[in-house]
C-alpha cells in the first residue's frame, strides 16, 4: 500500500525513537534509585500491601505475580539496560519483529511499575510515557519505511496533550482568561528551576504575552498538527519551541521532552531542509501492515473517551480510561496557586521538647528550603518525594497516607529515605523528635537578592505536624521500616511503639484524583 509507507519521515522516526528510549531510561533509573523508600517492602506505601488490596485486573503487571525488593530492582535495571540499548540503536540492529518485541517489553516493564506506584506515580507524564512507548513499538526500524498511520497517531497524541491542556485552562482559573496566571506560576509551580526566579521577574506585559502565547500554542497550533504538510511541520516546530521555553522555566520531569519527541513525528525533514533518505525500502511485511492497521482502529475506538472528556464542561485532567494507560486524556494547571506554601521538616536530638529546643532542618534536593539556595535543574529526572511535598503544602489530606510513614523513617535514620534528601542534620544518630511547620515562600526582588543573597523570603504560618517521637507514632498506628534499620534505634525507644501497619492508601491506576501534574505547556 503506497499510502502506508512514509519513507520521507526516516529522520523523524529515528529522533522520536531514540529520544523516547532516553526518556524511558530516565524513568527506569528514577524507579531503581527511589523505590525502596517509597513503595518497597519497607517503604511508605509498600507494594505488597497494595497488591493484597487491589486485584490484578485493576492494576495488571508483574508484581501481582511476585514481589520482593530484589525483583523490583531487577525489573527496573532490566528496563534501564533495554532502554539504553534501544537508545544506542538496538531496534535497528534486530529484525523488525525483534524491534517490536523490544519496545513492547519496555512498555510492559514500565507498566508494571506504574500500576503499583500508587500516589508516587499519579502523574500525567507516566501515562504519557506509556502511551508513547506503546506507539513507538509499531514505528518499525530501518528495515521498513516509517508507517504513516503510526505517525498520525503520534500527532493525535500531541493534539490531545496540548488541546486538553488548553481547554482545561479556559474552563478553569479565571486568571488564564485574564492573561494573568504567569504572574504567579513561575513562583508557585511545583518545583522551580534555576531560571524560574528570573522568569518570575519579567515585566508584566511579557507575562501577558506568555499567557496569550500559551493559548495559541495549546488551542490553535494543535489543530494545525492534523493538517497536511508543510503546515503540520511548522506547527510541530512551534510546539517544540514552546516546550523548550517550559524546560528553561521549571522542572517538570520528562513531560516537556516527551512532548518534544512526539511532536517530531509531525516534522517532514525535507520541508525544513534536513537530509533526505536515499535508501529504497523493501516490501512491508503483510503481518506488520495488519498489526499497524489493527492498532490504528483500536486507538480510534478508544479515543471516544478522551474526546468526550475534552468536550465536557466537567473536563478532568490526566485520566486513564483503561488499566493499560492507552489513549488517555491530558491537561495541566487548570488552576494556578497565588501563594506558595511549603512544608519545612525539622528534627531535634534533645530528649525532651521545650520552648528552647533547637530544631535542625532537613534539606530536600529539589523543593525550596534554604532561602539562599538557588533552585536546581533536575528535569527530566523526577524527584518524586519533592513533588509530593509540594502537594503536602497545599493539602494535608493528600499527604496523610505517606507523610507520617515518612516521618517515622526519619526517626530511625532510614538510609533509603535519607538518600532521597539533600541534607540530613543528624548523621551520627537519629533525632528524638521530628516536627513540620508550614511556611509561606515568595521570591525575593532584585534589591533583596543584592542585599541578602537570598532567592526566597519565607514566613512561618502555622504548625503542620506537632513534634512527635517513635512512641507517639506507635500510638497513632505507624511504625518505621523493619529489619536492619531498627538496630540504629536504642531498644528502650523501640519497645514503646508497637502498632498496626501503615493505614491503607492508594488510588487505583486509571482512576486517580485530578491534580496539576505538569506545566502550562
Span 425-448, pLDDT tens digits? 999 999 999 999 999 999 999 999
Judged by average pLDDT, the poorest of 230-234, 261-265, 277-281, 491-495 is 491-495
* pLDDT at 480 (0 to 100): 64
Instruction: For 99-114, write each residue's pLDDT tens digit.
Output: 999 999 999 999 999 9
Over 90: is that where the pLDDT of 475 sits? no
* pLDDT at 241 (0 to 100): 96
Over 60: is that where the pLDDT of 513 sits? no
* pLDDT at 282 (0 to 100): 83
Q: Is 57 exposed, middle or buried (0-12, 13-18, 19+ CB in 10 A)?
A: exposed
pLDDT band at 476 (very low <50, low <70, confident <90, very high): confident
* pLDDT at 270 (0 to 100): 84
Residues in CB range of 220: below 8 A, 6 or more apart: none
* pLDDT at 340 (0 to 100): 97
Tally of CA atoms within 13 A in the half-sphere of 303 that contains its CB: 14
pLDDT band at 514 (very low <50, low <70, confident <90, very high): very low
Over 60: is that where the pLDDT of 511 sits? no
Over 60: is that where the pLDDT of 411 sits? yes
Judged by average pLDDT, the poorest of 12-26, 245-259, 462-476 is 462-476
* pLDDT at 281 (0 to 100): 85
Q: Which sign does the torsion angle of CA 259, 214, 515, 399 carry?
A: positive
Rama region for 500: left / alpha / beta (φ>0; ψ in -120 to 50; rest): beta
pLDDT band at 3 (very low <50, low <70, confident <90, very high): confident
pLDDT band at 235 (very low <50, low <70, confident <90, very high): very high
* Nearest-angstrom CA–CA distance, 264 and 139: 13
Percent of the chain with pLDDT over 90: 83
* Nearest-angstrom CA–CA distance, 286 and 306: 31
For cell 509540594, the residue is 390
State the Cα torsion 237-83-43-388 to the nearest 10°. Answer: -10
Over 90: is that where the pLDDT of 92 sits? yes
pLDDT band at 384 (very low <50, low <70, confident <90, very high): very high
Over 50: is that where the pLDDT of 466 sits? yes
Over 80: is that where the pLDDT of 494 sits? no
Instruction: Report the mean per-residue pLDDT for the chain.
Output: 90
State the Cα torsion 511-512-514-517 to the nearest 10°. Answer: -130
* Nearest-angstrom CA–CA distance, 247 and 258: 11
Average pLDDT (469-480) is: 81
Strand partners, 438: 343, 462
* Nearest-angstrom CA–CA distance, 441 and 460: 9
Nearest to 33 by CA among 340, 415, 448, 364: 415
* pLDDT at 496 (0 to 100): 31
* pLDDT at 481 (0 to 100): 60
* Nearest-angstrom CA–CA distance, 12 and 263: 9
Over 80: is that where the pLDDT of 520 sits? no
Judged by average pLDDT, the poorest of 92-96, 177-181, 243-247, 503-507 is 503-507
Over 80: is that where the pLDDT of 94 sits? yes
Residues in CB range of 349: below 8 A, 6 or more apart: 426, 429, 431, 432
Over 80: is that where the pLDDT of 268 sits? yes
* Nearest-angstrom CA–CA distance, 7 and 446: 53
Instruction: For 361-377, write each residue's pLDDT tens digit.
Output: 999 999 999 999 999 99
Over 50: is that where the pLDDT of 498 sits? no
Instruction: For 320-354, write each residue's pLDDT tens digit.
Output: 999 999 999 999 888 999 999 999 999 999 999 99
Amino acid at each position: 500500500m503506497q499510502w502506508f509507507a512514509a519513507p520521507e519521515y526516516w529522520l523523524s522516526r529515528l529522533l522520536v525513537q531514540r529520544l523516547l528510549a532516553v526518556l524511558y531510561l530516565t524513568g527506569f533509573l528514577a524507579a531503581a534509585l527511589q523505590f525502596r523508600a517509597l513503595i518497597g517492602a519497607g517503604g511508605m506505601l509498600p507494594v505488597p500491601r497494595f497488591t493484597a488490596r487491589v486485584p490484578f485486573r485493576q492494576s495488571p503487571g508483574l508484581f501481582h505475580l511476585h514481589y520482593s525488593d530484589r525483583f523490583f530492582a531487577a525489573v527496573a535495571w532490566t528496563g534501564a539496560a533495554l532502554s539504553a540499548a534501544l537508545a544506542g540503536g538496538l531496534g535497528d540492529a534486530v529484525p523488525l519483529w525483534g524491534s517490536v518485541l523490544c519496545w513492547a517489553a519496555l512498555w510492559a516493564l514500565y507498566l508494571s511499575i506504574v500500576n503499583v506506584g500508587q500516589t508516587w506515580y499519579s502523574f500525567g507524564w507516566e501515562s504519557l510515557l506509556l502511551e508513547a512507548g506503546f506507539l513507538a513499538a509499531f514505528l518499525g526500524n530501518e528495515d521498513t519505511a516509517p508507517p504513516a498511520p503510526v505517525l498520525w497517531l503520534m500527532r493525535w497524541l500531541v493534539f490531545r496533550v496540548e488541546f486538553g491542556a488548553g481547554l482545561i485552562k479556559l474552563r478553569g482559573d479565571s486568571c488564564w482568561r485574564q492573561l494573568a496566571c504567569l504572574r504567579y506560576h513561575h513562583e508557585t509551580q511545583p518545583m522551580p528551576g534555576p531560571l524560574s526566579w528570573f522568569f518570575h521577574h519579567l515585566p508584566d506585559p511579557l507575562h501577558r504575552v506568555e499567557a496569550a502565547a500559551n493559548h495559541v500554542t495549546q488551542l490553535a497550533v494543535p489543530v494545525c498538527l492534523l493538517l497536511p504538510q508543510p503546515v503540520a511541520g511548522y506547527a510541530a516546530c512551534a510546539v517544540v519551541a514552546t516546550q523548550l521555553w517550559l524546560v528553561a522555566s521549571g522542572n517538570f520531569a520528562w513531560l516537556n521532552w516527551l512532548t518534544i519527541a512526539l511532536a517530531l513525528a509531525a516534522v517532514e525533514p525535507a520541508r525544513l531542509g534536513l537530509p533526505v533518505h536515499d535508501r529504497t525500502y523493501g516490501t512491508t511485511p503483510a503481518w506488520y501492515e495488519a498489526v499497524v492497521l489493527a492498532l490504528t482502529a483500536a486507538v480510534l475506538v478508544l479515543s471516544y473517551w478522551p474526546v468526550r472528556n475534552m468536550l465536557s464542561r466537567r473536563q478532568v485532567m490526566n485520566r486513564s480510561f483503561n488499566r493499560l494507560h492507552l489513549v488517555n486524556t491530558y491537561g495541566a494547571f487548570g488552576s494556578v496557586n497565588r501563594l506558595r506554601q511549603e512544608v519545612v521538616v525539622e528534627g531535634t536530638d534533645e530528649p525532651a521538647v521545650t520552648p528552647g529546643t533547637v530544631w535542625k532542618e532537613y534539606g530536600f534536593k529539589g523543593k525550596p528550603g534554604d532561602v539562599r539556595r538557588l533552585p536546581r535543574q533536575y528535569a527530566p529526572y523526577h524527584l518524586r518525594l519533592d513533588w509530593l511535598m509540594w502537594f503536602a503544602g497545599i493539602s494535608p489530606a493528600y499527604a496523610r497516607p505517606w507523610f507520617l510513614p515518612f516521618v517515622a523513617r526519619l526517626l530511625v535514620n532510614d538510609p533509603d529515605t535519607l538518600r532521597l534528601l539533600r541534607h540530613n542534620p543528624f548523621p551520627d544518630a537519629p533525632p528524638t523528635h521530628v516536627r513540620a511547620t508550614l511556611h509561606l515562600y515568595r521570591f525575593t526582588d532584585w534589591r533583596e537578592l543584592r542585599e541578602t543573597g537570598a532567592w526566597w523570603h519565607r514566613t512561618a504560618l502555622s504548625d503542620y505536624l506537632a513534634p512527635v517521637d517513635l512512641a507517639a507514632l506507635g500510638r497513632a498506628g505507624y511504625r518505621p521500616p523493619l529489619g536492619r534499620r531498627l538496630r540504629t534505634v536504642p531498644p528502650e525507644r523501640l519497645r514503646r511503639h508497637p502498632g498496626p501497619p501503615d493505614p491503607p492508601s492508594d488510588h487505583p491506576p486509571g482512576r486517580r484524583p485530578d491534580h496539576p501534574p505538569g506545566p502550562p505547556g
